[in-house]
Amino acid sequence: MATPIPEASPRGERSRVTLCLCGDVMTGRGIDQVLPHPCGAVLYEEFTRSALDYVKLAERASGPIPRGVDPSYPWGDALAEIARLRPDAWIVNLETAVTRSEDAWPGKGIHYRTSPENGRVLSAAGIDCCVLANNHVLDWGYAGLDETVRTLDSLGVRHAGAGRNLAEAEAPAVMGLGEKNRLLVYSFASPSCGVPRSWAASETRPGVALLRDLSRTTVERIADRTRSDKRTGDLAVASLHWGSNWGFRVSPAEQDFARALIERAGFDVVHGHSSHHVKGIEVHRGHPILYGCGNFLDDYEGIAGYEEFRGDLGLLYFVTLDRMGGRLERLCMTPTRVARFQVQRASGQAADWLAGTLNREGKRFRTSVERTADGRLELRWESRPVGGSLA
The ranges assigned to domains in the chain are: 73-381
- Mean pLDDT for all residues in the chain: 94
pLDDT tens-digit profile of 204-250? 999 999 999 999 999 999 999 999 999 999 999 999 999 999 999 99
- Dump pLDDT digits (tens) for 307-359: 999 999 999 999 999 998 999 999 999 999 999 999 999 999 999 999 999 99
What angle do helix axes 252-263 and 216-229 make, rounded to 10 degrees?
A: 30
pLDDT band (50, 70, 90) for residue 3: very low
**What is the pLDDT at residue 14?**
73
Q: What is the number of other CB atoms lying within 10 angstroms of the CB of residue 36?
A: 14
CA atoms lying within 13 Å on the CB side of residue 368: 6
Q: 126: phi > 0 → left, psi -120 to 50 → alpha, else beta; which? A: left
Q: How far is CA 248 from the centre of its chain?
A: 17
> Quick one: average pLDDT of 96-125?
97
Checking if the pLDDT of 10 tops 60, the result is: no
pLDDT of residue 388: 65
Judged by average pLDDT, the poorest of 96-100, 166-170, 321-325 is 321-325
Predicted local confidence at residue 383, as pLDDT: 76
Of the listed ranges 261-265, 362-366, 382-386, the least confidently predicted one is: 382-386
**pLDDT confidence band for 181 (50 / 70 / 90):** confident
The amino acid that residue 142 corresponds to is Y
Is pTM, for the whole model, over 0.85?
yes
Average pLDDT score over residue span 284-300: 98
CA distances from 201 to 104, 198, 206, 222, 243 (A): 18, 8, 5, 15, 20
pLDDT band at 5 (very low <50, low <70, confident <90, very high): very low
Q: Is the pLDDT of residue 75 over 80?
A: yes
The DSSP secondary-structure symbol of 367 reads: E
Asked whether residue 179 carries a pLDDT value surpassing 90, the answer given is no
Q: What angle do CA 44, 239, 17 make, to 5 degrees?
A: 135
Which of 313, 266, 333, 390 lies closest to 19 in space, CA to CA?
333
Give the pLDDT of residue 178: 80
CA pseudo-torsion sign 140, 142, 145, 146: negative
Residues 6 or more apart whose CB falls under 8 angstroms from that of 228 comprise: none
CATH entry, 73-381, from 3.60.21, 3.40.50, 3.90.1070, 2.40.50: 3.60.21
